Amino acid sequence: MHPVLVRILKQGIPVALILAALGYLMAEAAGMFFSMQAGGDSSIRVTVGDAPATADGSEDLTRSLQRRLPFTLAGWGFGLVVVVELLLSVLRGRKPAVPSAPKAVPTEDETEKLLNQLLQQADAAEAGRAKAATDTPPPGAPCPVPSASENSPVNN
């Protein structure tokens, strides 16, 4: 499936569903408002299309809004997503899909060689630290005396 079509479907369907739910809520609120304005009498009627809903050719306004508003909002929302996604795909341009080169996965032999080298280096470093810690200066070796050029508060 084309990537633009996939983006339109992934973003357009949720937008349409959310706007349909909001349209239904708005129709309910408008129906309550109009029924309160009429003093509880639902005598507000509207002519809907060519086919009459009742014998006198009118339909209750609340029912008309509940039927039309959710579909209208969902359609406009989905249409807006389609337009925006198509504009974005034109503005961005069609970039060819660049297949990424698969990374060379080292074989187990190479991995084991590298691991053994690292272990040998770590062992050598640990042995050097242990030897330096256990080495003591030879007996009778003089302590180093600071030279006069050093800025030391202690004078010898």
On whether residue 33 sits in a domain, the answer given is: yes
Per residue in 98-146, pLDDT (tens digit) is 677 777 766 678 888 888 999 999 999 998 888 877 776 666 666 666 5
Residue 151 placed within a domain:
no
Q: Tell me the per-residue pLDDT of 15-74, one tens digit each, with 9 for 90 and over.
A: 999 999 999 999 888 888 877 776 655 555 555 555 555 544 446 777 888 889 999 999
Instruction: Report the number of distinct structural domains present in the chain.
Output: 1
* Domain span including residue 18: 7-92
* Residue 155 domain flag: no
Residue 99 resides in a domain: no
Question: pLDDT band at 149, cuts 50/70/90?
Answer: low
What is the amino acid identity at position 25? L
- Give domain status of residue 129, yes or no: no
Judge whether 146 lies within some domain. no
Is 64 exposed, middle or buried (CB count within 10 Å of its CB: 0-12, 13-18, 19+)?
buried
